[in-house]
Amino acid sequence: MSEPLRPRILRLFGREIPMPASRIGRIVLGVLLIFLGFLGFLPILGFWMIPLGLFILSHDLAVVRRVRRRIAVAWEKRSRKRNGGGLPPA
């Protein structure tokens, strides 16, 4: 028997954003955000939609998840280098 679908929550910058419970819904939402992000030169739409779409896709697609993780690790190394190599500020 399959497990009942429960809503997924995207935590981003201290905010909680509900995502579709179905995998197909999340993939469609992520692809749609990326596509509309390429139209960011138009009013209301913006280039900010591209990374958000990739972040949503990273929950279901391993390829995107690996790229997101590499970027996060590189970002952390860069911020540690800027902060003098110690622990990042709390």
Condensed to tens digits (0 to 9), the pLDDT of residues 2-61 reads: 555 566 777 777 788 788 888 898 899 999 999 999 888 887 788 888 888 988 898 888
Quick one: pLDDT band at residue 88, thresholds 50, 70, 90? low
Q: Are 39 and 49 in contact (CB under 8 A)?
A: no
pLDDT at 35: 93
pLDDT at 1: 54
pTM above 0.85, yes or no: no
Q: How far is CA 88 from the centre of its chain?
A: 22
- Best CA proximity match to 26, nearest among 49, 60, 52: 60
pLDDT at 2: 59
Q: How many Cβ atoms sit within 10 Å of the Cβ of residue 60?
A: 15
Rounded-to-integer distance, Cα 38 and Cα 28, Å:
16
